[in-house]
Amino acid sequence: MKITYLGHSCFCLENQQGIKVITDPYTQVGYELPQGLTADVVTVSHGHFDHNYLPAIQGQYEVVSTEGKHLAKGITFEGVHTWHDPKQGALRGDNLLFKWEMDGVRICHFGDLGEEYSPEIAQWIENADVWLLPIGGKYTIDAKQAFAYVEQCQPKAVVLMHYRPLDGKLDIATAEGFLHLANAYPITHIPAGEWSVSKADLQDKQTKIIYMERRK
């Protein structure tokens, strides 16, 4: 499976059959998505402009944006409700976590999770191999809170998202704070923004940290 980081909370995940899943397309964050993006499925974690900008994606695709199980292009997506903030949605409303499997690798996209670690969320995400995890704070969990999830659950790999790059304009943190906390873990820096991963790559006992810069 190929995972391409497109910035913010947006990824393109492509399996060996060529099925493409794009997560949380955005606009107005200081930079724009690449032109000409196509997908077979688009997941939307919540209805904010920087996570649901469907006009950025061309062609015919299915949208997964609600709780429960959904079959799209032969892939089963499961969404669970969480909060976008630590006050049960009073500040920013709802958020969905999505799980699905591609090429034998179980993915969890956290959207704009704003809740600190809890056993209930941990139980739901514990069988996911690769996390797409926000770390920037203010609108999501921050670096310390995100790292608490990693420490408690020990997934196979964590791909960082929702942090501020040099050309970002949102008032969120850069990746450095999380990387400092996680310096005892193996960290892979991928400036090109593309990571190919298989089930066989995820056999190590220690969590891999994947820090990708976005594909422009």
- Per residue in 159-201, pLDDT (tens digit) is 999 999 988 989 999 999 999 999 999 999 999 999 999 999 9
Percent of the chain at pLDDT > 70 equals 100
Q: How many other CB atoms are there within 10 angstroms of residue 179's CB atom?
A: 18
The pLDDT confidence band at residue 93, using thresholds 50, 70 and 90, is confident
| Domain extent listing, the chain | 2-212
Q: Give the 3-state DSSP-derived string for the chain, with helices as H, strands as E and coil as C.
A: CEEEEEECCEEEEECCCCCEEEECCCCCCCCCCCCCEECCEEECCCCCCCCCCHHHEECCCEEECCCEEEEECCEEEEEEEEECCCCCCCCCCEEEEEEEEECCEEEEECCCCCCCCCHHHHHHHCCCCEEEEECCCCCCCCHHHHHHHHHHHCCCEEEEECCCCCCCCCCCCCCHHHHHHCCCCCEEEECCCEEECCHHHHCCCCCEEEEECCCC
Pick 2-212's CATH classification: 1.25.40.10, 3.60.15.10, 3.40.50.300, 3.40.1280.10.
3.60.15.10
Mind listing the pLDDT tens digit for each residue in 174-183? 999 999 999 9
Tell me, yes or no, if the pTM score tops 0.85.
Answer: yes
Sorting pLDDT into bands at 50, 70 and 90, what band is 216? confident
